[in-house]
Amino acid sequence: MAVYEQTYKRYAGPLTPEWSRFLIIPRHAYRSVFKSKIFTAFFVICFVPLLVEAILIYLHHNMNALGIMKIQIRELLPIDGSFFQTFVYIQGGFAFFVTVLVGPPLVSRDLRNNALPLYLCRPFSRTEYVVGKMSVLFILLSLITWVPQLLLFLFQAYQEGFTWFKDNLWIASAILLASVVWILLLALISQAISALVKWRVIASAAILGLFFIPSVFSAFLNEVFLTKWGNLVSLIALMGNVSDGLFGVFDRTAGTVRIEDFNNNVRLIVVTQPPLWLCWGMLFLVCAICLAVLSRKVKAYEVVR
C-alpha cells in the first residue's frame, strides 16, 4: 500500500514480539508528557536532591576537597541506612508530584474519547493496557527514585570497598523495595482515579485528596485517642511504617505521653504503632481495590444490563 500506488494491500512483514507490546504505550505517552516545558523543568528539578546526595557521598570520601572547604568529616552526615532512607523519602515526595502531573489523563483521556475499543480490538489485552499505562509512571518514577539511588549506593560501595558493600547490601534491597512499593501504589491509585474521573483537574485533586485528607484525619485520630493506630487510614503514614520496616528502624512503640488529671495524678501512656504486617496488609488492600476498579472500568464498552 505505497503512497503512490493508492491500493489496499495486506501487511506481510515481521511482527514485534507480543510480550513487548505494552511498552508501546509509555513510548508514545512520553512524547506528550515531555511536550510540556513546565513538566520537563520540574522533572529536571527532581534530580537536584540526587545531585546533593552524590556530592555528599563524594565529599565524604574526598579529603582534599574537605580540606579546601575546611569542613570536618564528622560534621557531614554518616553514609548509612538512614542517609539513604532520607533521600528515599525526598524522592518519594517528588515521585508523588510527578504522579499528580502525569497520572490523571492517562486512562481518562482514552475513556473520554472512546479510545478503548481501538486498543482492545487489536491483539492487545486489557491487562496489557493497564500494565502499559502503569509502566508510563513506573519507568518515569523509577528514573527519579530507585535507579539513581542504587547507582549512588554503588558509588558509595565503590568508595568504601567490597566489605562495606557486602555488609550493607540490605540497604540496596530496602531502597529498591521501598521505592517500588511506593511507585506501584502511586501508579495504581492514579490509574484507578483516572479511570473513575474523566476530568484531569478533578482527578489531580482527587489524588491529592486521597493522600492528604486521610493523613489529616489520621493525625486527628492519633491526637484524640493517644495512639498511632490512626496511621492505618493514612497512605503516607502506612508507607512510612513500611519503609521504616524495610530500613530496619520500625519500632511499634512510638513514644510515651504523660497525662495529668484534675487530681494531679500522672499517668504515662505508651503510644503504639499498628504492627508492620497490618500496614502491609492495608497497602495490599488499597492495591486490590484499585485493581478491581480498573478491571471494572477498562472495558471496550460498558454493558448496559
Partner 1 sequence: MALPATLQEELIKDQTLNDPAVIDLLSLSVTFGRRPILKNLRGDLRGKAIGLLGPNGAGKTTLIHTLLGFYEPSAGTAQIFGYDIVDQAKQIKSLVGYMPERDAFIAQMSAVHFVRLMGELSGLPPGAALERAHEALFYVGLGEARYRKLETYSLGMKQLAKLAQAIVHGPKLLFLDEPTNGLDPPARLRMIKLIREIRDSGQASIVLSSHLLLDVEECCDEILILRDGQIAVYCNLEEERKSNRKFLMLETRGDQAKFVEAIKELGCEYAITGDHRLKIVLQGGVDVRDLYQLAAREQVQLRRLSYKRDSLEDIFLKAMETGNGGL
**Interstrand relation of 253-260 and 266-272 (parallel, antiparallel or unpaired):** antiparallel
Under the criterion CB under 8 A, does residue 31 sit at the interface with partner 1? yes
**Using CA atoms, how far apart are residues 165 and 145, in angstroms rounded to an integer?**
20
Q: Which of 197, 250, 215, 234 is nearest to 85 (CA)?
A: 250
Helix, strand and coil percent figures for the chain, each rounded to 5? 70, 5, 25
**Using CA atoms, how far apart are residues 117 and 300, in angstroms rounded to an integer?**
4
Under the criterion CB under 8 A, does residue 74 sit at the interface with partner 1? no
CB of 111 to partner 1, least distance (A): 11
Amino acid present at 233: V
Under the criterion CB under 8 A, does residue 224 sit at the interface with partner 1? no
Q: In the complex with partner 1, which residue's Cβ is closer, 149 or 190?
A: 190
**Using CA atoms, how far apart are residues 172 and 174, in angstroms rounded to an integer?**
5
Candidates 8-16, 41-49, 164-172, 243-251: pick the segment binding partner 1 (CB under 8 A).
Answer: 8-16
Under the criterion CB under 8 A, does residue 305 sit at the interface with partner 1? yes
Q: Which of 25, 203, 26, 239 is nearest to 101 (CA)?
A: 203
Under the criterion CB under 8 A, does residue 7 sit at the interface with partner 1? yes
Candidates 23-31, 37-45, 76-84, 95-103: pick the segment binding partner 1 (CB under 8 A).
Answer: 23-31
CB of 212 to partner 1, least distance (A): 29
Under the criterion CB under 8 A, does residue 24 sit at the interface with partner 1? yes
Under the criterion CB under 8 A, does residue 21 sit at the interface with partner 1? yes
Contacts (CB under 8 A) with partner 1, residues 98-127: 109-110, 112-115, 117-125
Under the criterion CB under 8 A, does residue 38 sit at the interface with partner 1? no
Under the criterion CB under 8 A, does residue 65 sit at the interface with partner 1? no
Q: In the complex with partner 1, which residue's Cβ is closer, 129 or 247?
A: 129
The alpha carbon of residue 1 and the mean position of all alpha carbons in its chain are separated, in whole angstroms, by 45
Q: In the complex with partner 1, which residue's Cβ is closer, 5 or 261?
A: 5
Contact 151, 179 (CB under 8 A): no
Q: Which 8-state DSSP code applies to residue 139? A: H
The count of residues interacting with partner 1 (CB under 8 A) is 41
CA 287, 50, 151: angle at the middle one, nearest 5? 80
Q: In the complex with partner 1, which residue's Cβ is closer, 31 or 37?
A: 31
Under the criterion CB under 8 A, does residue 201 sit at the interface with partner 1? no
Instruction: Tell me which residues touch partner 1 (CB under 8 A).
Output: 1-3, 6-16, 18, 21, 24, 28, 31-32, 109-110, 112-115, 117-125, 299-301, 303-305
